[in-house]
Amino acid sequence: MAGSACGNSDGAQLAYYRDIVRQMMFANGDLEDPIPACIELVLDITKYQMVKALEDAWQYANAKQRKIITLEDVFILFKHHKFILKRLLQFAIAAECVNELKRAAPRTAKLDEEKEEESDMEEDEIATTSVPETNITRMKSVVDSLDLGETADQLLELVDPVYEERKKRIASFGSELTSEEYFRFTEARQATFRDDFKQKLKKWVSGDIHFLHKPKVGIHRKSDTANLLRWLGAPQCEPVVSFVVAFIGREQSIFCRKSDTANLLRWLGAPQCEPVVSFVLAFIGREVVAQIVDAAVAIRKFEDPNLFLNDDRHGHVAGPNERVPLQVRHYNEVLRRCIGWRRRKDFLFGYYEDVEKNISSESPQPSSDGVSHT
């Protein structure tokens, strides 16, 4: 029963990841409702990049006579891209910090006094972290073996000018939003290609998803009821609804933590992989969206606004002073200017500075990510 509840059809998975990309686009500077064609374009490039990463890692694994893709196999892709690798390490460290806070947080008290032995055993078996496979120590060890010229700890100390500028621009973008928009912007910044458990609960509350389980846990206290429903952004509900949602949360959490890596890998058609590979792929997807939107914003900034008509998200011509999302032309121009994409059809890893340095310089010059912004 749990398998049918947590498993998605291909169409449902596609819709789920399309919405994740939409949120990521908003979090990086597009409007909250981007043009649908732009969402499809960014989704296609992002999935293509993750699949290509799997294919390249699989080739490396085969060369090493391994039957599964390991962390070492995917980290080879980052060898010429130390700043992207640094961002991955920062992403993993941040995830571990969040998980430590979760582990340290007190558990919510229940009104029922007796606990089921089966329930306790399941909770003990399942780590409280949503990304238990990050394994920072192992990641650093693999980085140290890549012969980058810096150790992992030294890499983390390097200044990443592209990423710092991106953060400044996003902060500026956020400051221009209304309070309601900023709340949704903050929510969008939490979007991830990993299974988002909170989003599953929110969809159930709104009637989009139905789960069938037999309750095992006690009814939460009234204050916990209000907090849970408020956290989910639920409409007005009877108090007993929180009991059902809390139970679903516990049951779904136990199942999905066992299988959350499988959904992304299944969507990508991946061969057998170590669990941590899914975490790295999720970062790759996140970074692709961030770079594409960041470059598209820069392209729009420097274009002559009088040369083009703009569409709103419904495909209608926008007014001269209307706030409009990024246009298809901006995203297409990002791909045209990306050296790695032009030469190797590899948006994220296709540009090697040490390999390209003897090739005649191109105009305009690329950023350190291999994406031109001028």
DSSP 77: G
Residue 251: pLDDT over 70: no
* Distance separating alpha carbons of residues 46 and 89, to the nearest angstrom: 20
Residue 49: pLDDT over 60: yes
Q: Which of helix, strand or coil describes residue 239?
A: helix
Residue 209: pLDDT over 50: no
Provide φ and ψ at 366, rounded to 5°.
-80, 160
Residues 6+ apart with CB under 8 A from 264: 193, 194, 195, 278, 281, 282
Is pTM beyond 0.85 here?
no
- Mean pLDDT calculated for residue range 229-242: 67
Range scoring the smallest mean pLDDT among 95-99, 296-300, 304-308: 95-99
Whether the bond between 364 and the residue before it is cis, its omega within 30 degrees of 0, is yes
Q: What is the pLDDT of residue 227?
A: 63
Residue 362: pLDDT over 60: no
* Distance separating alpha carbons of residues 134 and 96, to the nearest angstrom: 8
pLDDT tens profile 94-117: 888 877 777 777 665 555 545 444
Q: What is the pLDDT of residue 248?
A: 58
Looking at the chain, the whole-number percentage of residues with pLDDT higher than 70 is: 66
Confidence band for 286, pLDDT divided at 50, 70 and 90: very high
CB 78, CB 88: distance < 8 Å: yes
Residues 6+ apart with CB under 8 A from 358: none
